């Protein structure tokens, strides 16, 4: 039996909506001879299955084992063709590709004038929507055709096309360099998290400056500005300069508001830009601005400003719910956020084929933190286990690290002493392996290890000592990242002042957002 997630065809069939399935059957049955085609029979069988089972397919008699691979490939291709024809999936890029295909067909038939007419219109559309990669392809085909379709204006036309090709080539090269830099910085963030030392900071700075092209910002187009801001954004996140990350995330989002037609053409980047802006505001604890941006984003999604497709629905679910949790974390309103847990779990089940494991684990960490905030430590541990026990996932090491540390604190609060010892040994092994024993982590581990030997009467003074040891790292350029994931200071204050942790966080939030 093949795993559901690993069989691409089965996942594709199950992702289709009722209208898409209906359209596929109409498309596939457009010729009478296709009515009983094997690929249609296979589609109907897969549609009825709750999970992929090759044995069931072979027993159905639709196809022999030796032919199954080819039949599946054919069905996969036919579904994609059907989806491409669906008006819901039509956008400017698909229209441009289609026009380029039509022009190529006409060119091969020797109908040069008709081909050039289509290309001219397509090029105008591509340039107006900043689709410079496709515009470059169009110009290159125009150049090929012009060498065969001789006109009296060929000298002027040659100069015009050469200049267009050179300008588009330069723009595309710049966009490629900026997007490569952004992607590499994002990769660093996923693998290592924030910089942890002067040495790491220096490496990131050198890499960034070496690969950042020299540009004149006021001369850049939409696409080049987009990647320029994203590169600075990831650099700011890596170096924990959250004011700068807020600055560039805001620039990125405002770039879309200055070019509203680009929201429908680049909805993923628009959603991600808002996600980065909300993350920055969350780290800065700017509650009122955070709520304003989140409300505006939710309104844009609800009123249909963003195209509706499976990928965008999944991203909208991910970003809206992650930040709704963050909204309650900022002011410590943990109880009010509990309603989101069932909604998020349902959404994870619904969107699991389109959301990567890293982002699912981030949601689990937030849910674990939520339960910790309301004092339900066993539920917190339950969600942290999803992260800690995930052996195959290559995710940010800092998320794995703080999941283990939060689990330690939750085990202590739950009174699970035996399990605490097991967790301590496991966490030590993990931290030593990843070579990430920083000061805050060392202090927390050291404190938890000696908890069993502290008399109840001495516990408050021990908490106070740990608080004073950790407080000095609150604004440390590298150690402060620990407090982004695990608000250990608020936890300690709750013990010292005999207050619920939610109340401590609420009081801090009021001071910050006065």
pLDDT one-digit tens code per residue, 355-374:
888 889 999 999 999 999 99
In the prediction, which pLDDT does 440 show? 83
Q: What is the pLDDT of residues 28-47, one digit of tens each?
A: 877 555 555 888 899 999 99
Rounded-to-integer distance, Cα 27 and Cα 49, Å = 22
What is the band of 513 on the pLDDT scale with cuts at 50, 70, 90? Answer: low
State the average pLDDT for the chain: 86
More confident residue, 401 or 321: 321
Higher-scoring residue by pLDDT: 137, 466: 137
Count the neighbouring beta carbons within 10 Å of the beta carbon of residue 497.
11
Reported pTM: 0.80
pLDDT at 224 over 60: yes
Which of 60-64, 156-160, 398-402, 481-485: highest mean pLDDT?
A: 60-64
Tell me which residue of 100, 105, 13 sits closest to 51, measured CA to CA. 13
Question: Does 2 have pLDDT greater than 50?
Answer: no
DSSP 204-231: HHHHHHHH-----GGG--HHHHHHHHHH
The answer to whether residue 234 scores a pLDDT higher than 90 is yes
pLDDT tens string 481-504: 777 767 888 888 888 888 888 888
Roughly what angle, to the nearest 10 degrees, separates helices 357-374 and 397-413? Answer: 30
User: Which is more confidently placed, 100 or 310?
Assistant: 100
Q: Which residues of 459-478 are buried (b: 16+ CB within 10 A; e: fewer)?
A: eeebbeebbebbeebeeeeb
SS (H, E, C) 351-418: HCCCCCHHHHHHHHHHHHHHHHHHCCHHHHHHHHHHHHCCCCCCCCHHHHHHHHHHHHHHHHHCCCHH
pLDDT at 76: 93
At 514, the pLDDT band (50, 70, 90 cuts) reads low
* Angstrom distance (rounded) from CA 270 to CA 292: 16
- Token readout for 242 is 């959250």
- CA distances to 77, 382, 409 from 448, in Å: 57, 20, 8
Q: Is the pLDDT of residue 395 over 60?
A: no
Task: Write the CB contacts of 322 (distance below 8 Å, at least 6 apart in sequence).
Answer: 275, 362, 363, 366
What are the tens digits of pLDDT across the range 51-77? 899 999 998 988 888 999 999 999 999
Confidence band for 155, pLDDT divided at 50, 70 and 90: low
- Write down the pLDDT at residue 3: 43
Q: Is the pLDDT of residue 4 over 60?
A: no
pLDDT for residue 106 is more than 70: yes
Q: For residues 454 and 39, which has the higher predicted lDDT (pLDDT)? A: 39
Question: What's the whole-number mean pLDDT along residues 262-267?
Answer: 89
Share of the chain above pLDDT 70, in %: 92
pLDDT at 205: 94
CA distance 466 to 170: 57
Of 484, 396, 436, nearest to 192 (Cα)? 396
Instruction: Encode pLDDT of 272-294 as tens digits.
Output: 999 999 999 998 989 999 999 99
**Length of the chain, in residues:** 514
Chain segment 189-207, per-residue pLDDT in tens: 877 778 888 898 999 999 9
What pLDDT does 422 receive?
78
Residue 271 near residue 315 (C-beta atoms within 8 A): yes
Domain edges within the chain: 4-89, 255-355, 384-514
**pLDDT value at position 462?**
84
* Average pLDDT over every residue of 76-82: 91
């Amino acid at each position: 039996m093949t795993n559901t997630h690993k069989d691409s065809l089965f996942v594709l069939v199950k992702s289709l909506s009722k209208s898409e399935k209906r359209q596929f059957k109409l498309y596939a049955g457009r010729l009478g001879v296709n009515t009983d085609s094997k690929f249609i029979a296979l589609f109907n069988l897969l549609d009825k299955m709750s999970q992929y089972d090759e044995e069931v397919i072979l027993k159905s008699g639709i196809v022999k084992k030796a032919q199954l691979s080819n039949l599946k490939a054919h069905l996969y291709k036919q579904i994609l063709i059907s989806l491409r024809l669906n008006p819901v999936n039509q956008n400017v890029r698909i229209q441009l590709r289609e026009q380029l295909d039509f022009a190529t067909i006409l060119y091969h038939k020797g109908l040069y004038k008709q081909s050039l007419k289509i290309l001219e219109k397509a090029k105008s559309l591509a340039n107006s929507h900043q689709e410079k990669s496709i515009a470059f392809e169009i110009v290159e085909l125009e150049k090929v055709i012009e060498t065969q379709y001789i006109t009296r204006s060929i000298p002027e036309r040659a100069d015009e096309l050469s200049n267009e090709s050179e300008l588009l080539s330069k723009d595309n090269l710049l966009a490629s360099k900026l997007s490569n830099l952004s992607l590499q910085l994002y990769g660093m963030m996923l693998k290592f998290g924030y910089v942890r030392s002067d040495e790491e900071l220096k490496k990131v700075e050198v890499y960034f400056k070496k690969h950042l092209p020299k540009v004149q910002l006021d001369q850049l187009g939409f696409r080049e500005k987009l990647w320029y801001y994203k590169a600075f954004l990831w650099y700011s996140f890596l170096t924990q300069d959250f004011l700068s990350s807020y600055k560039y995330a805001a620039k990125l989002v405002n770039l879309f508001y200055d070019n509203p037609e680009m929201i429908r053409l680049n909805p993923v980047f628009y959603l991600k830009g808002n996600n980065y802006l909300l993350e920055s505001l969350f780290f800065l604890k700017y509650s009122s601005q955070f709520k304003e941006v989140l409300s505006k984003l939710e309104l844009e999604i609800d009123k249909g400003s963003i195209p509706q497709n499976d990928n965008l629905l999944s991203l909208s679910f991910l970003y809206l719910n992650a930040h709704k949790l963050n909204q309650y974390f900022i002011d410590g309103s943990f109880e009010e956020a509990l309603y989101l847990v069932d909604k998020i779990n349902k959404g994870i089940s619904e969107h699991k084929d389109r959301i990567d494991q890293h982002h699912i684990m981030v949601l689990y960490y937030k849910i674990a933190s939520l339960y910790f905030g309301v004092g339900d430590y066993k539920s917190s541990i339950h969600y942290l286990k999803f992260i800690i026990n995930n052996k195959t996932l290559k995710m940010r090491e800092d998320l794995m690290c703080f999941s283990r540390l939060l689990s330690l604190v939750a085990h202590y609060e739950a009174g699970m002493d035996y399990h605490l010892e097991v967790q301590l040994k496991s966490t030590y092994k993990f931290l030593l392996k990843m070579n990430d024993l920083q000061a805050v982590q060392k202090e927390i581990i050291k404190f938890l290890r000696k908890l069993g030997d502290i008399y109840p009467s001495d516990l408050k003074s021990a908490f106070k000592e740990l608080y004073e040891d950790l407080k000095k790292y609150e604004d440390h350029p590298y150690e402060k990242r620990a407090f982004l994931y695990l608000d250990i200071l608020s936890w300690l204050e709750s013990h010292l002042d005999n207050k619920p942790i939610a109340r401590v966080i609420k009081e801090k939030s009021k001071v910050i957002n006065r």
